Amino acid sequence: MEREKIIFLRNFFFRAFVIGLAFALFYFVLTVALWDIWEPLVLHLFKVDEKEIGRIAVLFFTEVRLVVVFLFLVPALALHWALKGRGRS
């Protein structure tokens, strides 16, 4: 790959990681702040119990973490490492 393409992809993945992290923090703050408001609504509409809502919330944030880290940060770091290795040659 050309050096410019590697730099572009690295910057793209890193910026996608930062945006994903910002959205994850936004979702976390909304979840914690509005838990008492939306929990009874979810209990009524979807007929789930309180333990299941907690599990769903934890599962959601676990999956968000996996997507943000492994689909965005890992490729950005790999491209950064490849770029540094190429610069020495």
Q: Which two tokens stand for residue 42?
A: 């979810």
The secondary structure of 34-80 as a DSSP string is: THHHHHHHHHHHH---HHHHHHHHHHHHHHHHHHIIIIIIHHHHHHH
Q: How many domains does the chain have?
A: 1
Range of the domain at 32: 3-88
Task: Please check whether residue 2 is in contact with residue 54, taking contact to mean a CB–CB distance below 8 angstroms.
Answer: no
Q: With a cut of 80, say whether residue 89 has pLDDT above it.
A: no
Rg of the Cα atoms in the chain:
19
Under DSSP, the state recorded for 2 is: -
22 vs 83, residue with greater confidence? 22
Under DSSP, the state recorded for 1 is: -
Other CB atoms within 10 A of residue 68 CB? 19
Q: With a cut of 90, say whether residue 88 has pLDDT above it.
A: no
Q: With a cut of 60, say whether residue 51 has pLDDT above it.
A: yes
